[in-house]
Amino acid sequence: MAIQLMMTYSDGTSRTFDLEQDRTTIGRRRTCDLHVAIPAVAPLHCEITVIDGRAKILNRAPDSQTLHNGNSVNSANLNNKDRVQIGPVEFTVIMNDDETVIHRH
């Protein structure tokens, strides 16, 4: 299963990020797998884990909110077309069952 996060900009364009690892960190820190250079985003804001094809988001910043479909969560299972928001940045979860995708480990 291929899992992606799609970020849509205010001008309507979008950028897609492939989640190719079992654990993807998201935050302002440059060492995060998905670096978001916005002051409202915590240095290590959240992470997404993928275990047995199931994706889960975990909030890693106690003083910052991670929103899942508009609700503040500490952790939540992710499904296709779910919305994840950290600070002002919103992502749409895209899950594809296309087995032709090459998985890198």
End-to-end CA distance of the chain: 13
Could you tell me the pLDDT band of residue 98, with boundaries at 50, 70 and 90? low
Which CA distances in Å does 82 have to 1, 52, 77, 100?
16, 19, 10, 23
| Residue 94 burial (10 A CB sphere; 0-12, 13-18, 19+) | middle
The band of 96, judged by pLDDT with boundaries at 50, 70 and 90, is confident
Does this model's pTM top 0.75? My answer is: yes
Alpha helix stretches (DSSP H) within 39-95: none
Report the pLDDT value the prediction gives residue 48, as an integer from 0 to 100: 97
Average pLDDT over residues 76-91: 95
Query: What is the per-residue pLDDT across 32-62, written as a single tens digit (0 to 9) for each?
Result: 999 999 999 999 999 999 988 889 999 999 9
pLDDT (0 to 100) of residue 104: 43
